[in-house]
Copies of this chain bind each other. A is one copy, B any other.
Amino acid sequence: MGMPLELNTMIVTKDKEENLGEDCFLLVKEGYRLYPLNIPIELKRTIGGEESGTAVIKKVVMENNQTTITYVLVK
């Protein structure tokens, strides 16, 4: 009777991000995930990989057992 959720402290893209224009990206992840909004967090291409940048999440949508985040690259 609980809702499974994953607490995330970084963004791992696995090259699945979609560029919405300029430094803004959209990424769909499986399951419900809790990400911090408006805080600079690490961006990586793979879990074990080097940090590839820093991003700020502007929007999080949870629906149909997926979580879609919109983020902006900040450096």
Q: Could you list which residues of chain A lie within 8 angstroms of chain B, going by C-beta atoms? A: 1-10, 12, 32-34, 36-39, 41, 47, 58-63
Contacts and interface: CB of A to CB of B under 8 A. Distances in A.
User: What's the number of copies of this chain in the assembled complex?
Assistant: 4
Given A6-B3, A7-B2, A9-B41, A60 B58 contact: no
A72 to B, nearest CB: 13
B8 A1 contact: yes
Contacts of A37: 3, 32, 62-63
Nearest to A39: B3
B9 A39 contact: yes
Contacts of A36: 2-3, 7, 9
A2 B31 CA distance: 12
